Structure 1
Amino acid sequence: MAHTSAPLPRSAPETAADLLDPEVREVARRRGFVELSEAQEQAIPLLLEGRNLILVAPTGTGKTESAMFPVFDRLLGTAGPGFKALYITPLRSLNRDILSRMEWWCRELGLSVGVRHGDTPQNDRRKQSLNPPDLLITTPETLQALFMGKRLREHLKNVRYVVVDEIHELADSKRGAQLAVALERLAAYAGEFQRIGLSATVGNPDEIGRYLCGTRPFSLAEVPVASHLDISVRFAGEDFATQTRAVGRCLDAPGSTLVFVNTRVTAEALGHELFPRGDVEVHHGSLSRDVRVDAEERFRTGDIRTLIATSSMELGIDIGHIEHVVQFGSPRQVSRLVQRVGRAGHRLDAVSRGTVLATGFDDLLESFVIARRAKANECERIVPPAGAADVLANQVAAIAVEYGEIEVSRVREIVEASSVFAGCGPLLDAVCRQMAEHRLIRLDGSRIIRTGRARRYLIENLSMIHDERKMEVFDIVSRRTVGTLDESFVVGWMHTGAVFITKGQLWQVLEMEDGRISVEPATRANGEVPSWEGEQIPVPFAVAREVGALRRTRTFDRYSSVPGAIAYAERSLARMDQGNYPVPSDRLVTLENTDEGVVCNVCGGHKANEALARALSVLLSARYGSTVGIEVGAYRFLLRLPENVRALEVQETIAGLEPAHLPGVLKLALKRTALFKWKLVQVAKKFGAIDADADYERFSIHRLIGLFDDTVIADEAYRELFSNYMDVDAAQEILSRVQDGRIAVTTGGLSPLGSEGLSSSRDMIPPPLIDQAVIGTLMRRLEKEDVVLFCMHCRKWKSRTVIERVPDRPQCPLCNARLIAALKPWDEQFIPAMRKKNKSEEERAIEVRFLRNANIVLSSGRKAVTALAAKGVGPEAASRILATLTEGDAFYREILKAERNYVRTHRFW
């Protein structure tokens, strides 16, 4: 396809501003635009020529004005009704900075502007419907809704300009695929309009152009950021206190500093440590809007010099001049580092200064590689999802509602004009058949006819963002709910025994049942600990491979001139050399035996390693008849294996895994998992096959597979899992390299590198949580537990009380016997049966249990009552606890162990 990758030379030596209408130039002058930025100089001439354009430029270079100056210029001479320009932003809460700027420009130029999104009041919507503004600022989802109103559809016929802001945020998602089709539906009403995409630096701007424009020609204006980046990587230390001091030293430099972290937990922890400085605020998505706005204003006005932020500060919020950006921990991705460091300087002639503070060996080498790639402009590619069947179903339903009835060939023409559904003929036919089965449409020969159900479906499914329920996290020690987790996080990461972070604290999963996750405080972590507060950022295959190459070549001086960072990297590898451990690299996979199984050191990145780990787990499980657990990181994964399966068996399995068979093996691996079930339900909801508010736990996996196996719905669930959660292509490349000898595989014992990967975690800032605190919580809880004392001698006396009021040696006040059973409150219902002469078989069994209970209390007094009050502890478990003869904290540890065991196993009793 023809497109221009640079602006065409102009015949006259004028600046871009000279090409604009004098009224636009005058308003720009009043706004303070003395001279235009490089982005504006490149983009404005191309846009005034009427070209479709992708503008790729760093934050703070005036991308919005680059697009809008020419649009304002053209709108000044355009009369008539209807919307004339759409400004589409991916942010669900519209960027107020862009909003206020647009309102100012339109007011000064005598143009009308409106905003429409999910929270727009009904009276404002009515006004827009009766008197449409020249420029409408909206979201991809609200654009979908515009097509549903007859009058609004008429207003869309006059659209001549569409600007998609932050297009890189949309292009690789189903929201973006939905928008791509919506633009083709708009073209069916309005005819061809000018398409303008504003993007941060990406590795494949041409593909972003094809995503926005389909088969139409487009131009590309690109402002390179690499030449203006000054990035250094330092080692911050291995413990949090040392790391905090390293951040503090960065903040001592003159000027304002923006500190980026990867999770909200880290933002809060750093903020807590640095607040005493008096010039630090925290900014992240969990804080209320008012708090965030206040922090932004105080930073802009200079009241504070430092803002600690997550990705909440990435999307172009104007907070004024930033002298320096600090990235705490590896940013995981090149584009993320470029966007973040690009916030510094804020002028094209200024250098953006950034410092990455690495927090461990993997973190350091990864930061070296990402910094090098950033300076070389080697950002990640954005890959739009091709052929997402549920998006296609959503858009077919939308088109049916729009037109009432329409030829399949016309629908094909509309959707195939978008790059994400080019050549989708067979898929469209399969999707339509599936939709007809669920009465979303009716098929009549070659025509699609809307049904009454379709409009209701669309109202519930305007967005391709899946609705997620929250799952309760219940602490078994305090017997309290400590928070909630998103369903996707639970399904993707949680399993019995998993350790994760929430509320700044480490927790271990004991049980997952009925929408509740039972946990206990964890004092150590295995593997990379996911944090629900910050979405897990996967390290790409290319970055992980280069980290492997750097481990092999040890050419650290090519990546850094910071002596401390280089020394730490060399010291870490020297430990491997001293123990004669081979260093896993881009050309070597090492399989290391541990007590829990095998650590597979593979420099593959998160998604490739996820694919390999899942495939190996299903093959080993089938071969040895035992469940295999997995924990996955960017540079290693742990296979939890039975004792008779170790590294040699894993090596044999890898050698026998044909790359071409990997997708088939992964389908087997996923088919019975909670992750596949969850994704299947999500896709089925978007097909209208399951109600939008249905709870996925209501469906058994067998029933779901029975309903949807070998359908387009199951195919889409696999496609999405393979593309979003795994990198199957990269995993196949690793297997191919193993097979042809380019990657060697060795086996051995646990190395310092493998061990470090299991015992450390990035983004983990555990509070000073010690065993004593857990024991203290348990003791306080048990003291307040209700207990029913019942005399098994006279069987007349009973007393309901709490543990703290029970005497050391309980005694019946009626018969003076000490044969006292300590019962849980719900056992009280059986006491009348204990007084009967003729008991049923079941009642005699209960009597035996009560007598056993009473004999334990007779022997051990109040200590036995305490043990028996614990969750899931009966006479047998209490006997085992008391037989340890432990006292104090050790006694309560035994109780905790028994409670934990009950939570893990009671469903099998």
Structure 2
Amino acid sequence: MARTSAPRPRSAPQTPTAELLDPRVREVVRKRGFTEFSEAQEQSIPRLLAGDNLILVAPTGTGKTESAMLPVFDRLLETPGPGFKALYITPLRSLNRDILARMEWWCRELSLTAGVRHGDTPQNERRKQALNAPDLLITTPESLQALFMGKRLREHLKNVRYVIIDEIHDLAESKRGAQLAVALERLAEYAGEFQRIGLSATVGNPDEIGRFLCGARPFSVVEVPVASNLDITVRFAGEDFGDQVRTVERCLDAPGSTLVFVNTRVTAEALGHSLYSRGDVEVHHGSLSRDVRVDAEERFRRGEIRALIATSSMELGIDIGHIEHVLQFGSPREVSRLVQRVGRAGHRLDAVSRGTVLATGFDDLLESLVIARRAKANECERVVPPAGAADVLANQVAAIAVEYGEIEISRLRKIVERSSIFAGCGSLLDDVCRQMAEHRLIRVEATRVIRTGRARRYLVGNLSMIHDERKMEVFDIVSRRTVGTLDESFVLGWMQTGAVFITKGQLWRVLDMEGGRITVEPAVRVRGEVPSWEGEQIPVPFAVAREVGALRRMRAFGRYSDVPGVIGYAERFMARMDAGNHPVPSDRLITLENADEGVVCNVCGGHKANETLARALSILISARYGTTVGIEVGAYRFLLRLPGNVRALEVQEAMAGIEPEHLAGILRLALKRTALFKWKLVQVAKKFGAIDADADYERFSIHRLIDLFDGTVIAAEAYRELFSNYMDLEAAEEILAGIRDGRIAVTIGRLSPIGSEGLSSSRDTVPPPMIDQAVVATLMRRLEKEEVVLFCMNCRKWKSRTVVERVPDRPQCPLCGARLIAALKPWDEELIPAVTKKKKSEEERAIEVRFLRNANIVLSSGKKAVTALAAKGVGPETASRILATLSEGDAFYREILKAERNYVKTHRFW
């Protein structure tokens, strides 16, 4: 929305559109300081005043909110009486806060009332709303669900005439959105037909968003093109994190305010830490407290800080004032994400939105060039709503049963099938009702669904379709400390033994995943994935990855950029491929490269297609060769961790043997026994009321779960969600079909610069701050503090509990003077009585032999042996092997670390 900057008197927009509004609304528009309507407002207001359902697709800063609300305010002035008359639904509480401040001003000026309701709304405010409903209620999808549970609130819903859904693109592709779509049809049972207005960022399929909002009802689409107002530059920031930070600094030194977008919270913190000394930079992400975020927003708005480093928390339309320039650190992964983020710059009707993408590696650079080109051409991704999500249907059947007490199945079907999500759901509703009846959430009698006492309790804990996620502890074997926690979904979806990831700004390698704990060691000289939180796992789309492949093949860097540094870096990287005589993997060539850990499969398929192919290959190779296959997946390659006898040739044969039409069946087999499928099965079962909401998935054996739910609608939904959220079956089938008909060639080669670029190159990477010496120093300090029990195996009368650093170089018994001293773990102390007995059992004699062996090692190697024996999982045999290497200094401690790592990896098989 434009505002005058000159001090001349302000007047309302003088256009035919303005004349359509009530004079009272026009007066408030003038008072707000608007001099002209934006294109979005000029096109939307007449349609909305005419009563159309509408999808408005426009970038941030084009006045979308007022486009919807001015006509609604106009009509509210003529709609007297009690009850909610308009609902404004937003996906985030922070948007509630921002919108409320704006809406309260408009409502106050127009003598209307506004209120907000979400999970944190105080009880006294809720009571006031129940007694005297505001004209306009700002709420979230979950709080709308709660409104149906209160008898008085349901009465207020009968008066709703307008529903505005903000950031509808963000909701439409999630189960939250599917739940909301049904809730709107439940609302229509009370209010009759009401006007539906959806406000969306730029998407590739606005008509589908319209159907999501309106079902089969007619609707209009107003689409404001953004491409013509985008000025996007791609620069290469450097491969080293220090160089990248210096590049960001130079960008921040330019005049005006800058919003810096990063893809994960860890990167936000790492950049914020590096730039802290400037004094004009703040960090903003969802893990920070509300007070800290609001303070950062206010200081940025007032100009007290010049830069805000943010994650997707700033993508949605929170008002933080004028932004001169948007900086995207690393590829944004998706076209729509880049358009949304860069669109935050400018905020004037005639302003061009300026954005710079700072690429951080070869994959990252080419991906950024492709996404920037597609953004300028308005080629945004499609948003795909989760049609037929069975757990959402179960949730809403339970909600409707609670709402009505009992309801005819025919009426229930009519309500849910009016939404596009469940249009023509057929037998799915019957299957869902049968499953729910089995778990006593409802009773099905003849043609009716009847609520049970359990249904209301279930609903209180399941107002949201966002799954509860527990945290998994990350435990460092070197320091023997917990270094952080990770979300379960990240661990089960993306991690396996050997994977490298970043948390707390450091790189770690996974040694073991067991008992809700991930055991790790510091990783050096490698790159790693940044752990993803809910909503932060950003997969690169298939279309983007294919175009990156075409760009590699054609090497047409000049068509995508005129920045010398960009072209120069890309050409230098390709020269390294040429120098090694490596074929370049592309949209028409897959290369399979033998590496120490397995086979790198270079496939330009994007994360989801590559995940699909990797999982299918892993089960086929595992079945054929009787071996466990580990996988690591990126947008342009995946690594199959294989034993030495399975190489690229065997992978090529397995790939060639997959029939595209059999892929779905292979994947079901591949997923059936995985922790990921088990986790998803438990999540879906919870939403069906089949498992208690607070149950720990680890308590259930995978075999028992599959026996319980195999062949049910619960298992079918778990597969459906995994296929749609983690995989792209259609894209993978397209790649396999291309291989079969010769459009895509497959070759075998040595590990190339592209193959070794790193599976994490299409995700955020930061450099390892820990070096090898630091790891050794941490281990040394930890071992010095380890408790040991010294016990004389000569007189068998003396023992002493101490720590390693206090043990003398040559331990000696103070009673008998012997040096035959065993260095025992603290928990071995309770076994000492067994070796002091005259008569010993066979088991006790084995303990005595072990203690004597231990004491002989200490006798020959002194304190060095005590240090080795104090390590985790190191007994006499392992200590002997360590000491036999004759390693000294750091090398000695590395041998101990190697032994600890081996213990962690193998102890569960002993």
TMscore range, shorter length: over 0.9
Match of 2:636 in 1: 635
Match of 1:9 in 2: none
- Contact kept in structure 2, 1:265 and 1:765, CA below 8 Å: no
Match of 2:881 in 1: 880
Change (3 A) 1:132 1:95: closer
Match of 1:6 in 2: none
Match of 1:42 in 2: 43
Match of 1:8 in 2: none
- Contact kept in structure 2, 1:500 and 1:531, CA below 8 Å: no
| Matching of residues 769-848 of structure 1 within 5 Å | 769-848=770-849
Match of 2:571 in 1: 570
Cα deviation 1:589-611 (Å, max 9, x = unaligned): 11111122111111100000000
- Which has the higher mean CA deviation after the structures are superposed, 89-98 or 539-548? 89-98
In the alignment, is residue 127 of structure 1 matched against residue 128 of structure 2? Answer: yes
Partners of 1:504 and 1:607 in 2: CA distance: 27
Match of 2:521 in 1: 520
Change (3 A) 1:563 1:738: same
Match of 2:400 in 1: 399
> How much does 1:535 deviate?
2.1
In the alignment, is residue 502 of structure 1 matched against residue 536 of structure 2? Answer: no
In the alignment, is residue 22 of structure 1 matched against residue 23 of structure 2? Answer: yes
In the alignment, is residue 287 of structure 1 matched against residue 288 of structure 2? Answer: yes
Match of 2:907 in 1: 906
Match of 1:3 in 2: none
Cα deviation 1:786-826 (Å, max 9, x = unaligned): 11111111111111111111111111111101111111111
Change (3 A) 1:711 1:154: same
Partners of 1:171 and 1:777 in 2: CA distance: 49
| Matching of residues 372-383 of structure 1 within 5 Å | 372-383=373-384
Q: In structure 2, what residue type is equivalent to 1:285?
A: G
Q: In structure 1, what residue type is equivalent to 2:592?
A: L
| RMSD (CA atoms) | 1.5
Secondary structure class of the residue paired with 1:645: coil
- Contact kept in structure 1, 2:363 and 2:762, CA below 8 Å: no
> How much does 1:760 deviate?
5.4
Partners of 1:432 and 1:182 in 2: CA distance: 18
- Which has the higher mean CA deviation after the structures are superposed, 153-162 or 312-321? 312-321
- Which has the higher mean CA deviation after the structures are superposed, 288-297 or 850-859? 288-297
Cα deviation 1:757-803 (Å, max 9, x = unaligned): 35857411134211111111111111111111111111111111111
Q: In structure 2, what residue type is equivalent to 1:781?
A: R
Match of 1:297 in 2: 298
- Contact kept in structure 2, 1:527 and 1:631, CA below 8 Å: no
> How much does 1:494 deviate?
2.1
In the alignment, is residue 239 of structure 1 matched against residue 219 of structure 2? Answer: no
Q: In structure 1, what residue type is equivalent to 2:453?
A: G
> How much does 1:14 deviate?
4.2
Q: In structure 2, what residue type is equivalent to 1:715?
A: A
Match of 2:866 in 1: 865
Match of 2:542 in 1: 541
| Matching of residues 421-460 of structure 1 within 5 Å | 421-460=422-461
- Which has the higher mean CA deviation after the structures are superposed, 282-291 or 703-712? 282-291
- Contact kept in structure 2, 1:502 and 1:531, CA below 8 Å: no
- Contact kept in structure 2, 1:264 and 1:533, CA below 8 Å: no
Q: In structure 2, what residue type is equivalent to 1:211?
A: F
> How much does 1:271 deviate?
2.1
Q: In structure 1, what residue type is equivalent to 2:37?
A: L
Secondary structure class of the residue paired with 2:758: helix
Q: In structure 1, what residue type is equivalent to 2:154?
A: R
Cα deviation 1:526-573 (Å, max 9, x = unaligned): 675655598221000000011111111112121111122112112211
- Which has the higher mean CA deviation after the structures are superposed, 820-829 or 264-273? 264-273
Partners of 1:186 and 1:531 in 2: CA distance: 36
- Contact kept in structure 2, 1:55 and 1:222, CA below 8 Å: yes
Identify unmatched segments of 5+ residues in structure 1. 1-12
Partners of 2:634 and 2:895 in 1: CA distance: 33
Change (3 A) 1:249 1:207: same
- Contact kept in structure 2, 1:528 and 1:761, CA below 8 Å: no
- Contact kept in structure 2, 1:525 and 1:760, CA below 8 Å: no
- Contact kept in structure 2, 1:524 and 1:759, CA below 8 Å: no
Match of 2:601 in 1: 600
Secondary structure class of the residue paired with 2:235: strand
Percent of residue pairs identical: 86
Change (3 A) 1:759 1:346: closer
* Count, aligned residues: 898
In the alignment, is residue 274 of structure 1 matched against residue 280 of structure 2? Answer: no
Partners of 1:796 and 1:864 in 2: CA distance: 22
- Contact kept in structure 2, 1:527 and 1:761, CA below 8 Å: no
Secondary structure class of the residue paired with 2:449: strand
Q: In structure 1, what residue type is equivalent to 2:238?
A: G
Cα deviation 1:594-648 (Å, max 9, x = unaligned): 1221111111000000000000000011111101111100001111112121111
Change (3 A) 1:759 1:338: closer
Partners of 1:760 and 1:816 in 2: CA distance: 62
TM-score normalised per structure 2: 0.97
In the alignment, is residue 671 of structure 1 matched against residue 672 of structure 2? Answer: yes
> How much does 1:745 deviate?
1.0
Q: In structure 2, what residue type is equivalent to 1:602?
A: V
> How much does 1:95 deviate?
3.6
Q: In structure 1, what residue type is equivalent to 2:277?
A: P
Secondary structure class of the residue paired with 1:810: coil
> How much does 1:94 deviate?
4.2
Match of 2:145 in 1: 144
Match of 2:180 in 1: 179
Match of 2:891 in 1: 890
Match of 2:7 in 1: none
> How much does 1:129 deviate?
0.9
Partners of 2:726 and 2:228 in 1: CA distance: 33
- Contact kept in structure 1, 2:776 and 2:894, CA below 8 Å: yes
Q: In structure 1, what residue type is equivalent to 2:72?
A: V
- Which has the higher mean CA deviation after the structures are superposed, 258-267 or 692-701? 258-267
Secondary structure class of the residue paired with 1:230: strand
Partners of 1:481 and 1:30 in 2: CA distance: 57
Partners of 1:273 and 1:715 in 2: CA distance: 47
- Contact kept in structure 1, 2:95 and 2:318, CA below 8 Å: no
Partners of 2:64 and 2:49 in 1: CA distance: 15
Match of 2:329 in 1: 328
Partners of 1:456 and 1:534 in 2: CA distance: 28
| Matching of residues 92-491 of structure 1 within 5 Å | 92-491=93-492
Partners of 2:714 and 2:43 in 1: CA distance: 45
Match of 1:745 in 2: 746
> How much does 1:243 deviate?
1.5
Cα deviation 1:730-761 (Å, max 9, x = unaligned): 00011111111111111111112112235857
Partners of 1:591 and 1:243 in 2: CA distance: 31
Partners of 2:529 and 2:276 in 1: CA distance: 28
| Matching of residues 638-653 of structure 1 within 5 Å | 638-653=639-654
- Contact kept in structure 2, 1:262 and 1:534, CA below 8 Å: no
- Contact kept in structure 2, 1:95 and 1:317, CA below 8 Å: no
Cα deviation 1:832-889 (Å, max 9, x = unaligned): 2221101111111111110111111100111111111111111111111111111111
- Which has the higher mean CA deviation after the structures are superposed, 758-767 or 557-566? 758-767
In the alignment, is residue 78 of structure 1 matched against residue 82 of structure 2? Answer: no
> How much does 1:274 deviate?
2.3
Cα deviation 1:137-175 (Å, max 9, x = unaligned): 111011111111111111111100000000001000000
Q: In structure 2, what residue type is equivalent to 1:496?
A: T
- Contact kept in structure 2, 1:263 and 1:533, CA below 8 Å: no
- Which has the higher mean CA deviation after the structures are superposed, 685-694 or 244-253? 244-253
Match of 1:854 in 2: 855
Partners of 1:423 and 1:139 in 2: CA distance: 27
Partners of 1:95 and 1:759 in 2: CA distance: 36
Partners of 2:498 and 2:159 in 1: CA distance: 58
Q: In structure 2, what residue type is equivalent to 1:26?
A: E
- Which has the higher mean CA deviation after the structures are superposed, 346-355 or 705-714? 346-355
Partners of 1:272 and 1:55 in 2: CA distance: 39
Partners of 2:203 and 2:162 in 1: CA distance: 24
